[in-house]
Structure 1
Amino acid sequence: MSKSPHTLLINPTITTRSASARFPLSLLHLSAALDKQGSSEILDGNVDRDLIAATLRKMEDGQFDAVGVSVMGGPQIAPAIDVSKAIRERFPRVPIIWGGYFPTLHTNTALAAPYVDYAIRGQGEESLPELLNALRQPVPALAHIGGLSWRNGDSIVHNPSRRFSMHEHGAVLPYHKLGDPRRYLARTFLGRRTAAHQAAIGCRFHCTFCGVAAMFGGITMLPAAERLERDLRYLKYELGADSVLYFDNNFFDREEDMIPLLEVMARLEMPWWCFARSDSLLRLSESTWKLVRKSRLKMAYIGAESPNSQMLKEIRKGTRPDQTLQVTELCRRHGVIPELSFMVAPPEDTEAETEHSFEFIRELKRVNPETEIVIYIYTPLPESARHEKDRAKRPGRPLLDLHGEPIQFPQTPEEWTQKHWVDYYCHADAPWLTDKLRQRIHDFVTVLRCRFPTVQDLRSPPWAKLSLSAMATWRYRFRRYDRPWELNLANRLVQLRMPQVTGL
């Protein structure tokens, strides 16, 4: 056994091509924490496309005390299963630890798998090093490790949750462990070499449908301005990044806390994209908006969710439809493109609420034609996946399928890999949708995205986008969404980019 823990961290494949890979930020943070007491290596399946072969080669070349696998729900579950099974078969004595959103929200499901030994819920920068040190003892003492879930015989033990914290590593993240980190810089509408970065963690809101709320429980941690400047200067001057995608779960928090960060960003002037809320943007003063403009914010992804005020209250969104309208106008005046996401087809009043959303989207387009629209199916989290504090305060309603039967969610990771459950996790389908409504939504999205091609699409030539927009004009004007055969045919030749599928 090595003198200090040596850990392999794995990011299973989730992108369709390596060019879409972004920095595996969670593993970079974990690696920085692990290296304080030991050492770690990173394998990214989005770059190493034959992940299983790359994993087995690395494990044969070096002795690892444990393997940590980061797992999101949806399409990342299947490759996480495959690589975990391969490790268990070839190296049966090496502990396999799952972390990330999936084991946090579905802990018992993850630990139902024989190839998962431990699950870390929430933040892992403290829990994982403590677990590795405990496993090196003759009799591991596990009960004191916050955020850890583990099997004790036939039962599963959930240790108390650990409070989130903003860890300061004292230096930039260990990007060198990714090989050449410049290969993660992508050409986007923001710039030729766009980097992914996360400044703050968490979100202080409690939206009942959101995995972020379920994971963080209403906590937000913002970085010091000095840390943000250090990180951005490294990305810009060392790696050559010219723009930034901020993967903060909600970038604009309280204005007084944001000003020091915006001042840093205004000095560096790297065009950026972020997640935001309509109410937060509406509260910004004119002087802060001046900083926002100088920092070169180009697009803000805003969860509009629904035009129904009552639904927004029920899901604890904390915003109103009139604020969505106001923020589209506000963004227009400040030169920022609002990218609004909607959740259509809720379990109750499914068809009426969907048509209401379609009409509201048209109104938003009249207010600001540059508004980008992203449409998802409303697929709430299983009750067991919601944060413990929120479950206690407001129990969710039972979810019923198309036949009025209670929905039975998967109990194993393998069940979550079935297409209809992957679609559920990706907000692409729901058990209560009729074939007619499913087609209606698809047709509306087809007409909308052809009529208003996204500015994020850099692959389709301008003439093609203009042609599709012209073809879709009459359908959009007269609300003739059904069976847009000519648009479907044209899309075979010009495959327009879909932000809800590809993302930035």
Structure 2
Amino acid sequence: MPNPPNTLLVNPTITRRASARFPLSLLHLSATLDRSGSSRIIDGNIDRHFVASTLRAIEQDRFDAVGISVMGGPQTAPAIAVSQAIRERFPALPIVWGGYFPTLYPEVALSAPYVDYAIRGQGEKTLQELVTALSAEPSAAPANIAGLSWKHQGTVVHNPNRHFSFADPGRVLPYDKLGDPRQYLARTFLGRRTAAHQVAIGCRFRCTFCGVAAMFGGTTMLPAAARLERDLSYLKYKLGADSIQYFDHNFFDREEDMLPLLEVMAKYAMPWWCYARADALLNLSDEAWKLVRKSRLKMAYIGAESPNGQMLKEIRKGTRPDQTLAVAELCRRHGVIPELSFMVAPPENTEEETEHTFEFIRELKRINPESEIIVYVYTPLPESSRHEKDRGRRAATPLRDINGEPVMFPSTPEEWTQPQWVNYACHADAPWLDDKMRRRIHDFVTVLRCRYPTVQDLNSPPWAKRALSATASWRYRFRRYDRPWELNLANRLVRLRMPQVSGL
């Protein structure tokens, strides 16, 4: 009788150890895999020697496959490193990449000799079916597994997409596989022991720049209230969490679906942070806002994106600039801090749109001085990375670099690790920006964050933040953003937290 399938799951390093949060994707994968086999998790955010730990685990146990979670940007290089090490030491062991990177770029992922399979979109069922097939017959062709891309005689085969599903594992996620789960509870402005959690999966909106839209294709699912209560009870009473950072792709969706969840959250009254949309918050009833206040929502991350209504239509955001202004005022009245993100420097009318955004941000700060502002560079996804339902629906203007040449996106994982493409994936730079525009954005952000230090910064002394704010006030008041040498000097002594880089 064959052994049940056994899978090694690896989360390559992507952040500092102090910033590590629960690897929720691997925990959900593990919960599914363990129904018909077994699994083990290695988290590179905690284990700084995760490559050596991965090789040691494979030497000590029998695995039918290694599943590696890969997000673009800084996680790509460590994902390559661990994949290459596995391929060199254990050349016959199948290596599976899953997550945003292989979903957006399956052809790129499978161009590498150290990647055998790429999972597109939701991975629980796809990976379970794959390792079950591999454990029975390692050479079997996985032609019938939905959501899988694989290599066949030198070509890449893309199986049909898998329909999105939301299956309750029936129990608390297997946090015990992470060692002591309490090491993932962090001190944040929400509380002394903040836990990461996810309630809703996916988003029904289809913004053209968003990886969530590319992965889930406009689908969203919310759990039963009983499941949320089970999870919160474990996090609060078993682990000692006192606050929650919800990683939902879009926490507030339809109010009738949210009310039962808000009632559970109000019962536990743990301060929380989440992603939200301006229109969804503006449409909440008084009853819903009562529960929001009772549940102790402290901050909502809202994608404002642009003050240009036409641009918002083109990127299919579905919101308007006036709603961004209105939600800043609404949050002020309800004691919620709006964390508003903007995308500056689009490829067309780059300077004009950027300056317009700066002025719009000033208006938001006038309406609600407590508004937190996140500034990113607009970096749209390649047309080939968009969900199949959205490709070609609206002809995108070809992207051109600073020299007017077509932007050529990387064709290998190694190319995506080059600094300019890591910055692109992190919305920090784009090929059409010149040094003057980069400096203008950097200088504005420096003045803004010194004038209004983030409430999320718990390390900088209050007196230092007050001093920086006073020093930056004249520049902010008179719009003298250029070359803030004194603020750059002060930032060497007082390193203010940058939420767009480190999050909570």
**TM-score category of the 2 structures, normalised to the smaller one:** over 0.9
CA contact (8 A) 1:8 1:64 kept: yes
Question: By how many angstroms is 1:19 displaced?
Answer: 1.0
Question: Match of 1:343?
Answer: 343
Task: Confirm or deny: 8 A CA contact 2:276 2:300 kept in the other structure.
Answer: yes
Are the equivalent residues in 1 in contact too, given 2:272–2:296 (CA < 8 A)?
yes
Please give the alpha-carbon distance, in whole angstroms, between the structure 2 residues aligned to 1:503 and 1:60: 36
Superposed CA offset, 1:125-160 (max 9, x none): 111111112123445141110000000111111000
Match of 1:392, SS state, is: coil
Cross-structure match for 2:150? 150
Q: Kindly provide the amino acid, as one letter, of the partner of residue 36 in structure 2.
A: Q
1:374 matches 2:370? no
Distance in 2 of aligned mates of 1:316 and 1:48: 40
Paired residue for 2:279? 279
Are 2:352 and 1:355 aligned?
A: no
* 1:183-198 pair list within 5 angstroms: 183-198=183-198
* Structure 1 partner of 2:296: 296
Q: Does 1:107 align with 2:106?
A: yes
Matches within 5 A, 1:285-434: 285-434=285-434
Task: State whether residues 10 and 43 of structure 2, in contact with CA within 8 Å, keep that contact through their aligned partners in structure 1.
Answer: yes
Amino acid paired to 1:413: P
User: Matches of 2:424 and 2:183 in 1, distance apart?
Assistant: 32
Counterpart-to-counterpart distance in 1, 2:131 and 2:60: 20
- In 1, the alpha carbon distance for the partners of 2:482 and 2:3 equals 66
Aligned residue in 1 for 2:441: 441
Question: Take 1:146 and 1:111, find their aligned partners in 2: how far apart are those partners?
Answer: 17
The letter of the residue matching 1:324 is: T
Equivalence for 1:8: 8
Please state whether the residue corresponding to 2:195 is helix, strand or coil: strand
In the alignment, which residue of structure 2 is the partner of 1:205? 205
User: Which amino acid letter does the alignment assign opposite residue 23 of structure 1?
Assistant: F
Shift in Å, 1:392: 3.4
The match for 1:232 is 232
The question of whether the paired residues in 2 share the 8 Å contact of 1:383 and 1:395 is answered with no
Q: Deviations over 1:172-197 (max 9, x none)?
A: 00000000000000000000000000
CA contact (8 A) 2:266 2:295 kept: yes
* 1:31 paired to 2:30: yes
Contact map agreement 1:402 1:431 (CA 8 A) in 2: yes
Matches of 1:54 and 1:142, distance apart in 2: 29
Check whether the contact 1:11–1:24 (CA below 8 A) recurs between aligned residues: yes
Q: Scaled by the length of structure 2, what TM-score is found?
A: 0.99
For residues 257 and 395 of structure 1, what CA distance do their matches in structure 2 show? 35
Amino acid aligned to 2:106: T
One-letter amino acid matched to 1:27:
L
Distance, in Å, in 1 between the alignment partners of 2:377 and 2:141 is 44
Q: Does 1:43 align with 2:45?
A: no
Give 3-state SS (helix, strand or coil) of 1:166's partner. coil
Q: Give the AA of the match of 2:201.
A: I
Matches of 2:40 and 2:131 in 1, distance apart?
15
1:95 is matched with which residue?
Answer: 94
Helix, strand or coil: the match of 2:428?
coil
Q: Secondary structure at the match of 1:374?
A: strand
CA-CA distance at 1:237 after TM superposition: 0.4
- The Cα offsets for residues 399-434 of structure 1, whole Å up to 9 and x where unpaired, read as 000111100000000000000000000000000001
Deviation by residue 1:31-78 (Cα, 9 ceiling, x = unmatched): 000000000000000000011111111111111111000000000000
Output the amino acid matched with 2:34.
Answer: D
Structure 1 partner of 2:53: 54
Query: Offset of 1:286 from its aligned partner?
Result: 0.9
What are the Cα deviations for residues 466-490 of structure 1, in whole angstroms up to 9, with x where unaligned? 0000000000000000010000000
SS at match of 1:244: strand
The 3-state SS of whatever aligns with 2:440 is helix
1:252 is paired with a residue whose SS is: coil
User: Does residue 1:66 correspond to 2:62, yes or no?
Assistant: no
Q: Which runs of 4 or more aligned residues in structure 1 lie more than 3 Å from their structure 2 counterparts after TM superposition?
A: none
Question: What letter matches 1:90 in structure 2?
Answer: R
Whole-angstrom distance in 2 between the partners of 1:65 and 1:132:
6
CA contact (8 A) 2:197 2:247 kept: yes
Secondary structure of 1:136 counterpart = helix
What percentage of aligned pairs have identical amino acids?
76
Aligned equivalents of 1:176, 1:350: Cα separation in 2: 49
Aligned partner of 1:320: which letter? R
Structure 1 counterpart of 2:481, which letter?
Y
1:79-94 → structure 2 map (5 Å cutoff): 79-94=78-93
Counterpart residue number, 1:132: 131
Task: State the SS of the aligned residue for 1:412.
Answer: coil
Secondary structure of the 2:370 match is coil
Q: 1:183 to 1:2 in 2, by over 3 A?
A: farther
Which residue matches 1:21?
20
* 1:500 alignment counterpart: 500
Q: Deviations over 1:270-289 (max 9, x none)?
A: 00000000000000011110
- Describe the SS at the equivalent of 1:424: helix
- Which stretch shows the higher mean deviation, 61-70 or 394-403? 394-403
Residue matched to 2:473: 473
Q: CA deviation at 1:2?
A: 6.2
CA contact 2:2–2:136 (8 Å) conserved in 1: no
* TM-score between both structures, scaled by the size of structure 1: 0.99
> Partner letter of residue 158 of structure 2?
H
**Is the contact between residue 111 and residue 412 of structure 2 (CA under 8 Å) also seen in structure 1?**
yes
DSSP 3-state at the match of 2:405: coil
SS in 1 for 2:379: coil
Q: What amino acid maps onto 1:384 in structure 2?
A: S
**Partner-residue secondary structure (3-state), 1:339:** strand
Determine the C-alpha separation between the residues in 2 that align with 1:58 and 1:438.
45
For residues 486 and 392 of structure 1, the distance between their equivalents in structure 2, rounded to whole angstroms, comes to 48
Report deviation, 1:162: 0.4
Secondary structure at the residue paired with 2:390?
helix
Which whole-Å CA distance do the structure 2 matches of 1:93 and 1:434 have between them? Answer: 47
Residue 396 of structure 1 and its aligned partner are, at CA, apart by: 2.0
Letter in 1 for 2:210: C
Between the aligned partners of 2:107 and 2:252, the Cα distance in structure 1 is 34
Match of 2:260 in 1: 260
> What code does the residue aligned with 1:75 have?
P
Q: Which runs of 5+ in 1 are unaligned?
A: none
Question: How far off is 1:395 after superposition?
Answer: 3.1
